Amino acid sequence: AQSVSQHNHHVILSEAASLELGCNYSYGGTVNLFWYVQYPGQHLQLLLKYFSGDPLVKGIKGFEAEFIKSKFSFNLRKPSVQWSDTAEYFCAVNPNSGYALNFGKGTSLLVTP
Amino acid sequence: ETGVTQTPRHLVMGMTNKKSLKCEQHLGHNAMYWYKQSAKKPLELMFVYNFKEQTENNSVPSRFSPECPNSSHLFLHLHTLQPEDSALYLCASSQGQRAGVPDTQYFGPGTRLTVL
């Protein structure tokens, strides 16, 4: 079955640590890729997206993600996390042929001071 | 941010009640979506309206009935729900789907539904 996998369900980091959250998908063909973030008590917000072109995309708040087509991956990175990055992070994939935005189960990130 | 608003934010209903969830987008978009977010499960797409036409019904039970009177408003009518329908219901909007053109969805804050 086609799916989106986020391997880390819970991540705890100290401030200034580097972050990498994994995302793999199993869809063939062209895909559009997204990372959304949900801060505590807030709604889902777009962090960054990849449609085409440079596979390294930069988003808001210092986040970036790299699309590696051969690995069907779109991992999220940040060199130095802050306490305010505590949130739930969702990877989502839109097969270019359809309307659906297919989400992973999310990764809960806790950044400790 | 008030691009996509949803009301009510919280709803408690009995299994025999009829209620409606409302979503409004202020972004000039042409597509609107309903998602269900349950604990420990990925967001599940329920319905898609693209230029006011329902283009996707993701095998949703008939006790959920969507309505899209115009491109800015989307409703989800609820009747005879089950306790397992308790979840966060999210609305989203986007520019509108055109073949081969990528689209980005923007989400509202959700309605937390509890079915007793």
Neighbours of B14 (CB within 10 A): 10
Cross-chain residue pair B31–A99, CB shorter than 8 Å: yes
List the B64-70 sheet strands across, edge first.
B4-7, B18-25, B73-79, B64-70
- Tokens encoding B101: 């053109």
pLDDT of residue B55: 82
Q: Closest to B55 (Cβ–Cβ): which among A34, A44, A99?
A: A99
- Chain centre distance of CA A55: 14
Test the B interface: residue of A44, A60, A105 with most B CBs within 10 Å: A44
Amino acid at A30: T
Test the B interface: residue of A10, A33, A101, A103 with most B CBs within 10 Å: A101
**Residue A1 binned pLDDT confidence (cut-offs 50, 70, 90):** low
pLDDT(A98) > 80: no
Chain A contacts to B (CB-CB under 8 A): 4, 32, 34, 36, 42-46, 49, 51-52, 90, 92, 94, 96, 99-106
Q: Closest to B48 (Cβ–Cβ): which among A42, A99, A105?
A: A99
Q: Which residue is closest to A34 within chain B, CA to CA?
A: B104
pLDDT of residue A8: 84
Comparing A6-10, A85-89, A94-98, B58-62, the range with the smallest average pLDDT is A94-98
Q: How far apart are CA B84 and CA B82, in angstroms?
A: 5
pLDDT(A90) > 90: yes
pLDDT of residue B50: 87
pLDDT of residue B57: 77
Mean predicted confidence (pLDDT) in A38-43: 90
The mean of the pLDDT values for chain B is 91
Whether the upstream peptide bond of residue A40 has omega within 30° of 0, thus cis, is: no
pLDDT lower than 70: segments of chain B: 1-2, 99-100
Over pLDDT 70: what percentage of chain A? Answer: 97
Residue B64 distance to chain A (closest CA, Å): 18
pLDDT of residue B58: 76
Cross-chain residue pair B40–A105, CB shorter than 8 Å: yes
Q: How far apart are CA B34 and CA B87, in angstroms?
A: 12
